[in-house]
Chain A
Amino acid sequence: MLKIKDLSKKFRDFNVLDHVNLNAEIGQIYGLVGSNGCGKTTLMKHIMMIYKPDEGDIFYNDVPVVEDSEIIKEFYFVQDNIFFPYQFTLSSLFAYEKLMYKNMSDEKFNRLVNYFDIDKNKKLNKMSKGQRKQAAFVVAISAQPKVLLLDEIVDGLDAVIKRKFWDVLFQEVMDNEMTVVISSHDLKELDNICDRVGIMHQGKILKEDDLEKMKDEIKRVQFAVDGEYEISDFKEFNVIKSVKIGSVNFCTLTGNIDEFRKKLEKEYKVLLFDRLSMSLEEIFITELGGAGYGTEKE
């Protein structure tokens, strides 16, 4: 497992990371999501030991990860703003990276180059942003890393390529039990794909859990009653948000749904009652709203 414990880092006076705790199991797809500028990229750079933490530790399978750790040679980081050396093609990039990654697979590389239909002799810096991401991804998978960090890689890819991308990622996760930490702003895309999610804001992890558990904890209900629904009577169910559209109420709550329904039926004539699940996007907005983000009124 990849474990980050109480990691803190300051840039001058700015707390870029504030006691970050992150836990990702082997073979898990971990979604690192957060507000713009919350520190996702910085956190990933710490895992790669590009930065050294001020406080806290990183462990991989209980072994500390420090600057000279051998295990970092089996971590691969695909950055958002990918830098390729001048005049490099995918072929030259592969040859170069092969020097550093001992598990680099020629067979995988060739297969993926075909699958993504990339011209491996074209200069990388002449490619479009999306094509550059594909190229970087191909090399990353060919390196067969134990931990793969992907910083906003799906953001900006077309729908067809995204499918191929997930296909390849799933295969690798299954075959090599690769641990993936993927950051993205496209929460609809990550929904159902991530096993575990960490929600970040201003250098802190606000919430981290298996996605399934998160969706079980925060629930949404839609209901309609005869008469006026008094929200104050239902405080014990911890209603986080309540919206009324027409005669239908939509409530987001963490309390027990069955009890909520029972009480509702006791106090009112219930015309409609449905439990809905929260999407990752909705959970994200709710959590960040709780931290005061995005709550400004127009």
Chain B
Amino acid sequence: MCLFKFFLDKECITTYNTVIVLIVLIHNGTLRFTLKGGFVLIKIDNNSSKAIYEQIYDEMAKLILSGAVKPDEQLPSVRELAGLLKISPNTIQKAYRFLEMDNYIYTIRGKGNFVGNAEKLRSIHIEMLKKELFKLIETLQRAGMSDDEMLKLIKEILDKKNDQEDLC
């Protein structure tokens, strides 16, 4: 109540405007700073056999799912990222398009790309993958794989993955 009266007071209008501008600047400044600092952490491995756009997608998805960037936070523009990483903007655009298709981010025309809701995403993504797994299991069964063989295969894959991660 008092705050409201304060802002209505003519003599305080200048202060009010300055405060609002300062808040906006600091807000944007922090965002940009975090983003720039955060996204230099996207490392592109030129020796990896994974396509560049795929690496960007994976790193971004990881960043988003980890919560390091918050929902509705603005991501660097395609051009910013292209300049930072020295990668064709078309490649960055491709990664962003896939991220949008998979609901990790959403785009507002003329404004930019923003982080989607991570919790919601994770469950959406997992639902998608569950469906795919279901189909795959059906296919393997049709190909003659027994339940035991399938379970053995899954354990094998997981063990291998765990070994790979230990080596990294």
Contact = CB atoms under 8 A, between A and B. Distances in A.
Interface of A: 27-29, 163, 166-167, 170-171, 173-174, 191-195, 212, 215-216, 219, 257, 275-277, 279
Interface string B78-105: 1100110111111100000000000000
A240 B106 CA distance: 44
Given A28-B90, A174-B89, A276 B47 contact: yes
11 contacts: A28-B90, A166-B82, A170-B88, A170-B89, A192-B85, A212-B51, A215-B51, A257-B49, A276-B49, A277-B47, A279-B46
A27 B90 contact: yes
A193 B83 CA distance: 10
Contacts of A279: 46
Contacts of A163: 83, 86
Closest 6 CB pairs of A and B: A275-B49, A167-B83, A170-B82, A192-B87, A170-B89, A195-B90
A192 B86 contact: yes
B53 interface: yes
A191 B83 CA distance: 14
A194 B78 contact: no
B115 to A, nearest CB: 21
A212 B83 contact: no
B123 interface: no
Contact of B79 (A28, A170, A219, A277): A170
B49 to A, nearest CB: 4
B42 interface: no
B49 A173 contact: no
A2 to B, nearest CB: 15
Interface of B: 44, 46-53, 78-79, 82-83, 85-91
Nearest to B45: A277
B88 A192 contact: yes
A126 B86 CA distance: 31
B46 A277 contact: yes
B52 A212 contact: yes
Contacts of B46: 191-192, 277, 279
B89 A192 contact: no
B148 to A, nearest CB: 23
A216 B51 contact: yes
Nearest to A191: B46
A193 B44 CA distance: 13
Contacts of B90: 27-29, 173, 195
Contact of A277 (B48, B78, B82, B86): B48
A212 B89 CA distance: 14
B88 A193 contact: yes
Contacts of A29: 88, 90
Contacts of B44: 192
Contacts of A277: 46-50
Nearest to B83: A167
A89 to B, nearest CB: 29
Nearest to A280: B46
A166 B86 contact: yes
B49 A194 contact: no
Contacts of A28: 90
Contacts of B86: 163, 166, 192-193
A173 B91 CA distance: 12
A28 B78 CA distance: 15
A95 B91 CA distance: 36
